[in-house]
Amino acid sequence: MENDLPSHYSPKEVEYKWYRFWEESGFFHSEPSSSKKPYTIVIPPPNVTGVLHVGHALNNIIQDILIRWKRMQGFNVLWMPGTDHAGIATQNVVERELSSKNIKRQDIGRERFIEEVWKWKQQYGSTIIQQLKKLGSSCDWQRERFTMDEGLSDAVKETFVRLYRKGLIYKGKYMINWCPRCRTALADDEVEHEEHEGHLWHIKYSFKENPQQHIVVATTRPETMLGDVAVAVNPKDDRYKDFIGKTLLLPILGRELPVVADDFVSPSFGTGAVKVTPAHDPNDFAIGMRHALPSIVVMDEDGTMNINAGDYNGQDRFECRTALVEDLKLRKHIDRIIPHKHSVGHCYRCQTVIEPYFSNQWFVKMRPLADAAIQASLNKSVTFYPERWEKVYLSWLDNVRDWCISRQIWWGHRIPAWYCYDCGAISVSTGDINQCTKCSSPRLKQDEDVLDTWFSSALWPFSTLGWPKETPELAYYYPTSTLVTDRGIIYFWVARMVMMGIEMVKQVPFSHVYIHGTILDEQGRKMSKSLGNGIDPLLMIDRYGADAVRFSIIILTTEGQDVKLSESKFEMGRNFTNKLWNAARFIFMNLSEENPEEITYDITTLPFEDKWIHSRLNTTIEECTASLDQYKFNDAAMKMYDFTWHTFCDWYLEIVKHRLNNANNRIDKKNAQTTLAIIFGKTLHLLHPFIPFITEELWNNLTRIAQHNKIALQIGGTGSSLVTSRCPIFSKQFADDTSEHIMPVLQDIIRAIRNIRSKMDIKDKQRLKAVISYPRDFVYGLHEHTNMLKRMANLEELDMGIELQKPSHSASEVIGNLQVFVLLAGILDPLAEKDRQLKHLKQLENHLTIIRRKLNNENFVAKAPPQIVETERKKEDDLQVQIEKVKHILLNIG
């Protein structure tokens, strides 16, 4: 039977074929079962506007590894997929499309606009789902959900109504974060703070009774002073204690401002006197509440100044700042202006500078919910991996503020609250209502706002399973098993899911939370469009293959640490898949030869190397399982890589070649073929969750060839696909401590002889004579493995003994308490070789002198391009290595 594998691995030909087969076979679908234990992951729903980036890739690779591994362990696995409606982002996209046609959403009204968004969603909303499939994600696509689906919308309404009736949702006029571009409120966690180089303006506020006397107030936002209603000082500040209760005049507008005493004011910041603008600063809002001060809004929702701003009415807030400062200078109100670096909040969606804004909004009362979530962590109902992220989670919950959940946009879950025109009462309901619940008036109007996108996302683990209905899925799959996410949404999403799960379903939504790192560029910077340093995972899949991308990313991901990534790193994954492919070609070639003889395969009677490779794989299986149990994906990948590349390919395949070519002992050859097939089959099973496509292709070929040649693969639960096969497990049957202790010693001896060849410039084909000296207490029986040592090190003679003396004219290597000698007599002419090496040494040293002269020249180092200087330094390092090698050869020649 011929080996059908092409000479080169072509990922594109393999990936599409197998993903279609998996989907069409229904391998990813799950139904509640009484006979199997469930394992469930809900996907962090990507925005419906999104396209796959490397952060998504990392997140979904990790989830897919867990899902495939647990499926192969026999769990009834559900990976719940779906997308988020992404209120602000999606509305912005559709508004831009309409704007290109000179249409504003206000022109077509709310209903027509929502229709346009749904049309956009139907056309483009599945883009990221198709991209996740290309990555190999084995989600249950038959269960795909969307946060605006009818059932999920029911869950949102039910949650709102329950929380409102329990007093955990309320409406009030408070200071919130406002995005003038998106024209909506934002929660505290949706504001991204950046350090800005700004100014601290010191402004003179004159006393009403004595305009020649003044208090200097410092501010970073002079445009908001137009809404000032007081000036506050610390009651313990001796500089101002006589001014408390006096009246100041607001520059430009002339409004009367009382001087109030408040402990919040820091005497050491600025001048120790602060302007109080309750409608435009959260701290000032609190001061205003304590002193019963009015709130004056001087800015409209789009960031332009309003009528309360006097002559600056209609100006953009930053235009107003410039004009106001100039006017203050002209009127001698500016005391001084100093540079000042300070933190400025930006909208997490559009990066516009946010405004603290006095507005009437809906809030969730967080303290009772947060206390329950804290307790869930402390009693280990929810466990974080790595553990350090628990402190971040608890810190946020300890300091949580009420959550502003209303958004002034049209795309999203409309708030299920109605206002009565007659009595002013608010009625909430999961369904539409036509009369006031207080006075029965039919004159009602539904709230125009929608809920924060994160409100519906917080319900994702149970709303996707049918809650508030008591569905079989909810009873079976909830609570889910593991959540995999990025640290950036611990506040946005993780904590809120825990709170809502406990409050609504009375159970935590998941038991384990794995927080992975962030992918950075090779310089350690966040990837962004502005920097142009992003890596497109889809482009990398086209160039290197999905398996190479998956393996490269995961082997770089160390226990939740950030990952520095460049395109060159994907070559490692490609090299690994190529190594696996070439190993398969060798294996299949040696299995394809007709050898139909059936044998009894008994591991206890197998040769040493077969027992060793079984034991080594058995140990690797145990170590990888332990690593995956602890979410140490990099650790598991490294162990698989080391076993596959080094142990199996570099050593076992070389050791077993002579048996595969041995036509005289067909039983031994069949044992070698069977061992080869079993070990390779188990290796493919072990690797499958990490690199599913190539392993499926090779497994399919292996089973076909093995069946033809009557080789029993002896892998429990073998199926037609690796997706449904059982993963290998540790078994004492294959553990062999003796071979695992002896083989490393044999490998070290072989390496030592090969190193001597390399250092002495002896050709690989040259057969050598070697001597091994070992101490009296050496316990390993090396003599039993003489033939292997001679074969692997290409020796014609090998002597071994206790405490042997170094033979004359030989090179040596020390391995622990062993010493290896390679005889050079007859291989090298000592005098001729010494003369040749001395000449070589002189050439190298002369070259090194020239390089060092150049590098010691300060003028050259300062003016030459950095890459040229680096090249010369590399030459210096290489020459030093070569010189040491020649000196070693001369030392051994003697």
> Whole-number mean pLDDT of the chain?
91
Confidence of residue 342 (pLDDT cuts 50, 70, 90): confident
816 is written with which tokens?
A: 């622990």
* Residue 630 pLDDT exceeds 80: yes
3-state secondary structure of 591: helix
Whole-angstrom Cα distance, residue 695 to residue 715?
A: 15
Which domains does the chain carry? 31-168+365-408+454-516 (3.40.50.620), 184-356 (3.90.740.10), 568-735 (1.10.730.10), 760-825 (no CATH), 831-893 (1.10.287)
Range 159-170 average pLDDT: 97
Range 679-707 average pLDDT: 95
Q: What tens digit of pLDDT does each residue of 571-620 get?
A: 999 999 999 999 999 999 998 766 666 778 888 999 999 999 999 999 99
Q: What percent of the chain has pLDDT over 90?
A: 68
Confidence of residue 558 (pLDDT cuts 50, 70, 90): confident
In 366-442, the DSSP E strands lie at: 383-385, 403-404, 406-407, 417-420, 426-428
Give the pLDDT confidence score for residue 794 in this predicted structure: 95
* Residue 643 pLDDT exceeds 70: yes
- Top pLDDT among 871 and 587 is at 587
Which residue is it, tokens 């160390």? 558
Confidence of residue 779 (pLDDT cuts 50, 70, 90): low
Confidence of residue 698 (pLDDT cuts 50, 70, 90): very high
Whole-angstrom Cα distance, residue 330 to residue 401?
A: 43
Q: What tens digit of pLDDT does each residue of 213-229 get?
A: 999 999 999 999 999 99
Q: Is the previous residue joined to 479 through a cis bond, with omega within 30 degrees of 0?
A: yes
Is 529 labelled a binding residue?
A: yes
DSSP string, 163-184: HHHTTSEEEEEEEEEEETTTTE
Give the pLDDT confidence score for residue 499 in this predicted structure: 98
Which residue is it, tokens 């998504």? 56
Q: What tens digit of pLDDT does each residue of 23-69 get?
A: 999 999 999 998 899 999 999 999 998 888 998 999 999 999 999 99
How many Å is the Cα radius of gyration of the chain?
Answer: 37
- Top pLDDT among 796 and 871 is at 796
* Pairing state between β 214-219 and 383-385: unpaired
Helix (H) or strand (E) holding 612: helix 608-629
Stated pTM of the model: 0.86
Whole-angstrom Cα distance, residue 441 to residue 443?
A: 5
Whole-angstrom Cα distance, residue 187 to residue 722?
A: 45
For the beta carbon of residue 774, count every other beta carbon within 10 angstroms.
21
Range 72-98 average pLDDT: 93
Range 722-736 average pLDDT: 91
Q: Is the previous residue joined to 468 through a cis bond, with omega within 30 degrees of 0?
A: yes
Q: Is 8 exposed, middle or buried (0-12, 13-18, 19+ CB in 10 A)?
A: exposed
Give the pLDDT confidence score for residue 88 in this predicted structure: 86
